[in-house]
Structure 1
Amino acid sequence: MSRSSTGMRFENDQTLIHACLKGDQFAWTDLVERYRRLVWSVIRQTKLRPEDAEDVFQQVFLSLLRSLQDLRETDRLAAWLLTTTRRACWRASSKSSGAPVSLESTALLADGTQSDATEVELDKQLVRDALEQLGGKCRELLEALFSAAGEPSYPEIGERLGMRVGSIGPTRQRCLEKLTPILHGLGF
């Protein structure tokens, strides 16, 4: 457990994040200390130059600082940090001519540079994770609407999901509104 400037112990991420949002500098220090090994574990899996690795570490926590108030699911902070770190490593690698990233989820081209498909795949995985968290009818509807190639057939979707065709559009909008904060919480 971590201590704040007031001596309070942070038993979980929620209380730690709350203290950070209130401006407790000690809480922020504790938050970085709590997750530094996790972030470095991802960075070390790459072949970034040491100075690029340091930059990625700083970028990840700067992104966290900027996104902290929008983080809806504090219990998913570790997942958010992992995703953000992977993306930052990818960006650093693509800027650095001779430093490709060697993560399992990364596809490298023959010349050692990364394809745009890598970022697309990371984005797809984030969307899949967000849909998993969303669950229920919203997940089913959004997958039916956006997973199929071509124009989705509302009558077919309505029949398959037991929905009236006229309710699909408004339900889709509500589901997308629920999905958006989940995606933001995952670092999308």
Structure 2
Amino acid sequence: MPSRPLSQIVSSCLEGDESAWREFVDLHSRLVYSIPRRNGFDASACDDIFQDVFLAAYKSLDSLRDAQSVPKWLITTTVRACAKHAKKSKLRLPEPIPGAPDEAEIDRQERLSELHRGLDELGGRCKELLIAIHCRPVSTGYDQLSEELGIPRGSIGPTRQRCLEKLARILRSQSDPAALGP
């Protein structure tokens, strides 16, 4: 989980902050490494592609300030690096593995990861309430929630609304700290 919004991490990287660069790489390493792995490259080739992608990211940091576009940019750059590596090695780029996640699935996983980070930042009673309401396989009634969470039944709806608003602010701040507003 990043300790700050991605746009701040990128800004710190541009100012030469080595710990910010490590944070940037750590935040995106699984995403970048997964693409050559799922396309059948061996560990050595995956490492080469990984280095190529993050070198390109380092050189392009000033254009990566839009936090929303970073994962898509990294995916595109990684796919291109895979093709370049395959061509350079005179390898035929393998067909995508059946059942491997496509770009839409990767986007979904990124959004889910952002949601989890937001819930972790939200913490406490709000996190507990939102998970109890929205993440159970079977819908739970307000009477049961009231009993389980120790919240008066009539307070669950308004509390849920306030918690969702806080979560929305957190999610906006993760992608753009200026979105917090006053």
Q: TM-score, normalised by structure 1?
A: 0.52
- Whether 2:16 is the aligned partner of 1:33: answer yes
Q: How many residues align?
A: 139
- Please point out which of 94, 97, 102 is paired with 1:110: 97
Secondary structure in 1 aligned to 2:117? helix
Map of 1:145 onto structure 2: 133
User: Once the two structures are aligned, what percentage of the paired residues are identical?
Assistant: 23
Quote the offset at 1:122 in angstroms.
2.4
Q: TM-score, normalised by structure 2?
A: 0.53
* Structure 2 segments unaligned to the other structure (5+ residues): 34-45, 85-95, 177-182
Relative distance call for 1:148 and 1:96 in structure 2 (3 A) is farther
The separation in 2 between residues aligned to 1:90 and 1:146, in whole angstroms, is 30
Relative distance call for 1:32 and 1:150 in structure 2 (3 A) is farther
* Structure 2 letter corresponding to 1:34: D
* Structure 2 letter corresponding to 1:110: I
* Structure 2 letter corresponding to 1:146: H
- Whether 2:164 is the aligned partner of 1:179: answer no
Map of 2:122 onto structure 1: 134
The separation in 1 between residues aligned to 2:60 and 2:168, in whole angstroms, is 23
Could you say which structure has the greater relative contact order, defined with CA pairs below 8 angstroms and 6 or more residues apart?
2
Contact 1:126 1:183 in 2 (8 A): yes
* Structure with the higher fraction of residues in helix conformation: 2
Secondary structure in 1 aligned to 2:115? helix
